[in-house]
Amino acid sequence: MSATRLKYFQTGSFAAGNRLVEPDQRAVQSDPQRANAITCGHRACQGCGEALGARYALDAALRATDGDLIATNATGCLEVFSTPYPESSWQVPWIHSLFGNAAAVATGVAAALKAKGNTHTRVVGQGGDGGTVDIGFACLSGMFERGDDVLYICYDNEAYMNTGVQRSAATPPAAYTTTTQAVGDQPGAAWGQGKDAALIALAHEIPYVATATIADLRDLERKVHTAMEIRGARYIHVLVTCPLGWGAASADSIKLARLAMETGIFPVWEGEHGDVVSVTKIRHRTPVEEYLKLQTRFRHLFAPVRRDDVIARIQARADRNIARFGLLEALDEDQLDEAVEVDV
C-alpha cells in the first residue's frame, strides 16, 4: 500500500495536536507522568502568560535534564505568586535572592557545582523583564561575557506588573503604564527608548539565544531543550502576556501572544554565537491594529480621537522587524518544520 504524506495543523493556531504525532514527539505537557516544576495552587492571575511560560520552560528543562536542575529567580510576579510560603509551587530546588541578581546567583550555583565536581546538575536563572533588562542587566551581561554555565530565561510582559504596571525598558512605545500615562500629545511610553535584550544577548556571542512566545509552546519547549543540550551562557526571551497590565481579556492571552508574532511586533528567532540562525515565519501577516485594539494599554490610540499617526508608527516598527529578520520570506517545504507529517 502506498503512503501519502499529509500535513495537519489546527485551524488558526498552526499548532499540531498531540494526538496526531508519535508519542516521542509529543509535548512535555501531554505526558501524564511529566515532571511539574510549578504545581497548581499558585496565585497568578487568570490568564497569566508568565505562569504558563515558566511552567512550560521549566518542565522542558526538567525533562531535558532528567530532573537534575536548580533554579534561581529574580523578585517579581513569578517569585511572589509561586511562593507565599508554605505554599511553594516549586518542585525543583529553587532560590530567590534579590530583584537584580538572579543571573549572578545562578553563576554562584554553577560555580559551586563545578567546584564540587558535579557535572550533571544544570542551572536555570529566571526573571521578568524588569529583573532582567533593567535592574538585573549588569549581572546578566556579566554572566554572559564570562560564559557561565547557566540558561537564563526572561519572561517579558513588558512592564513592572508586580508593583502595579510601571514602565520598564521593555515597555513598547505608546503603551500606557502607570508611569507613562495616556495624557498629552504623545500619550503612553516615549518613542526612541527601550532595549532589545535578546539582540544584546546575541551581541555577547554566547552559544545560544532565542526568543519565543506562549502562543507556540512547543517551540518554547524545543528551544529550552536545545539550550539544555549546550554548555555555557544561554538566553531565552519569552514574550508572556499580562491580562492585568495589558488590559486584555484573560481568554485572549494566547491570541495576543500569537498576534505579537504574526504582526511582526515580536520577532521569534534563534541565534548562535552572535548570528541569527533561524526565524519563525509569519504565516498570516496581520496589521498591528488587530493586536493593539485588544489591549486597553493602547486604547488611547483609538478613542476619543483615533491616532492613525501613532498606529502607523507602530506598524512601521513591526514592518522593520519583518524586513530585518526576514519574517515573511517564502516558506519552502523544509521550513514547515512545525507541520506534522502523517502517513495515510
Partner 1 sequence: MLEQIEGSQAVARAVAACRPEVICAYPISPQTHIVEALSRQVKSGALAPCEFVNVESEYAAMSVAIGASATGARAYTATASQGLLYMTEALYNASGLGLPIVMTVANRAIGAPINIWNDHSDSMSQRDSGWIQLYVESNQEAVDVHLQAFRLAEAVSLPVMVCMDGFILTHAVERVELPEQEQVDQFLPTFVPRQQLDPEHPLTIGAMVGPEAFTEVRYLAHYKQMQALDLIPEVAGLFEQRFGRSSGGLVRRYRSDDAETIIVALGSVLGTIEDVVDELRATGERIGAVAIRTFRPWPAAEVRSALAGAGRVIVLEKALSVGIGGIVSQNVQGALAGLPASVHTAIAGLGGRPITKASLRQLFAAARAGRLGELTFVDLNHQLVDAEIQRMLSDRRSGPHAENMLRDVGVVGAGPV
Indicate which single residue of 27, 28, 61, 109 sits in contact with partner 1 (rule: CB under 8 A): 109
State phi, psi for 162 to the nearest 5 degrees. -65, -35
Name which position in 28, 57, 77, 90 contacts partner 1 (CB under 8 A): 90
CB of 105 to partner 1, least distance (A): 4
Residues 65-84 within binding reach of partner 1 (CB under 8 A): 67-70, 72-73, 79-80, 83-84
Closer to partner 1 at the Cβ: 84 or 274? 84
Torsion region of 281: left, alpha or beta (phi above 0 gives left; psi -120 to 50 gives alpha): beta
Applying CB under 8 A, the span of 25-33, 95-103, 257-265, 329-337 interacting with partner 1 comes to 95-103
CB of 267 closer than 8 Å to CB of 203: no
β 151-156/122-128 pair status: parallel
CB of 17 to partner 1, least distance (A): 32
Rounded to an integer, what distance in angstroms lies between the CA atom of residue 69 and that of residue 89? 15
Q: Do 206 and 233 meet the contact criterion of CB atoms below 8 Å apart?
A: yes
Q: Is 36 in the site for partner 1 (CB under 8 A)?
A: no
Using rule CB under 8 A, residue 117 touches partner 1: yes
Told to check if 112 binds partner 1 by CB under 8 A, we report yes
CB of 329 to partner 1, least distance (A): 39
Q: Which is nearer to partner 1, 115 or 305 (CB)?
A: 115
Q: Tell me the closest approach of the beta carbon of residue 96 to partner 1, in angstroms.
A: 4
Total interface residues for partner 1 by CB under 8 A: 45
Place of cell 516549586: 90
Residue type, 343: D
Which listed residue (106, 201, 265, 314) binds partner 1 by CB under 8 A? Answer: 106
What dihedral angle (degrees, nearest 10) is formed by the CA atoms of 57, 58, 61, 62? -150
According to DSSP, the β-strands at 5-8 and 340-343 are antiparallel
| Exposed / middle / buried, residue 263 (Cβ in 10 Å: 0-12, 13-18, 19+) | buried
Collapse the DSSP code of 289 into the 3-class scheme (helix H, G, I; strand E, B; otherwise coil) and give the result: helix
Cβ nearer to partner 1, comparing 94 with 155: 94
CA-angle at 137, arms to 258 and 170, nearest 5°: 35
According to the binding rule CB under 8 A, does residue 114 interact with partner 1?
yes
Identity of the residue, 146 or 317, whose beta carbon is nearer to partner 1 in the bound complex = 146
Tell the smallest beta-carbon distance from residue 172 to partner 1 (Å): 28
For residues 53 and 122, give the distance between their C-alpha atoms in angstroms, rounded to a whole number.
19
Q: How many other CB atoms sit within 10 Å of the CB of residue 329?
A: 12
Is residue 207 part of the contact set for partner 1 (CB under 8 A)?
Answer: no
Q: Please classify residue 87 by burial: count the beta carbons closer than 10 Å to its beta carbon, then call 0-12 exposed, 13-18 middle and 19+ buried.
A: exposed
**Interface with partner 1 in residues 128-167 (CB under 8 A):** 138-139, 141-142, 145-146, 148
* Of the candidate residues 3, 115, 330, 344, the single one contacting partner 1 (CB under 8 A): 115
Residues that bind partner 1 (CB under 8 A): 67-70, 72-73, 79-80, 83-85, 88, 90-98, 100-101, 104-117, 121, 138-139, 141-142, 145-146, 148
